[in-house]
Amino acid sequence: MEIHRFEKLWLGASLLLIVALIATIVYGAVGPGVAMVDDSGGTVDPSDLTASDNFREPGVYEADDGGYDVYVRAYQFAFEPGSNSPIRVPADTEVTFYVTSGDVTHGFNLAGTNVNTMVIPGQVAEITVTFDEPGTHYIVCNEYCGAAHHTMRGTVEVVPRDQFDQQSSEVNN
Ligand code: CUA
């Protein structure tokens, strides 16, 4: 069977397009580090978050592996910590956020980063991130959660690692 030269060209070009399309989808799915939030964070009793050791005193805790764990309680209409006092974490360090809610569904989005999850009552959302640079990120609730939803926000302050170590040793001494 004789295939015309231009037919071959078109065939090749369309095959290339298909390969390029699949490549962009694969890159978009795994390349920029975007992942689905799964149920690895576990659950807590939404009617009494203080029944859970981790959420009795939400805050920033040093983890065994040298990283930091941040426990955050979301409620109508604030993040604790985050809204009344900023969450301070070090740069260049693995930080894992555990976020839960005791009332309604909220959102936890760090503006300017790919940290973004739904916060479901009783369900602990777990997100691990390493901030490359010091700076301030706003926490935004991006799920409609009631009349003052638009006021629900907080702050994460990423400070240089040495500065953070210094501050935590000052607190401890
Ligand atoms: Cu919380 Cu919107």
Whether the CB-CB separation of 161 and 87 falls below 8 Å is answered with no
pTM summary value = 0.79
Predicted pLDDT at 170: 57
Instruction: Give the residue, by CA position, lying nearest to ligand 1 atom 1.
Output: 106
pLDDT band at 171 (very low <50, low <70, confident <90, very high): low
Predicted pLDDT at 168: 63
Using the mean position of ligand 1's atoms as its centre, give its distance from the Cα of residue 104 in Å. 8
Whether the CB-CB separation of 70 and 60 falls below 8 Å is answered with yes
Using the mean position of ligand 1's atoms as its centre, give its distance from the Cα of residue 97 in Å. 17
Using the mean position of ligand 1's atoms as its centre, give its distance from the Cα of residue 63 in Å. 28
DSSP letter assigned to residue 149: G
pLDDT exceeds cutoff 80 at 1: no
Predicted pLDDT at 37: 72
Instruction: Tell me the mean pLDDT in the region 37-60.
Output: 83
Nearest ligand 1 atom to the CA of 144 is 2
- What is the chain's Cα-based Rg? 22
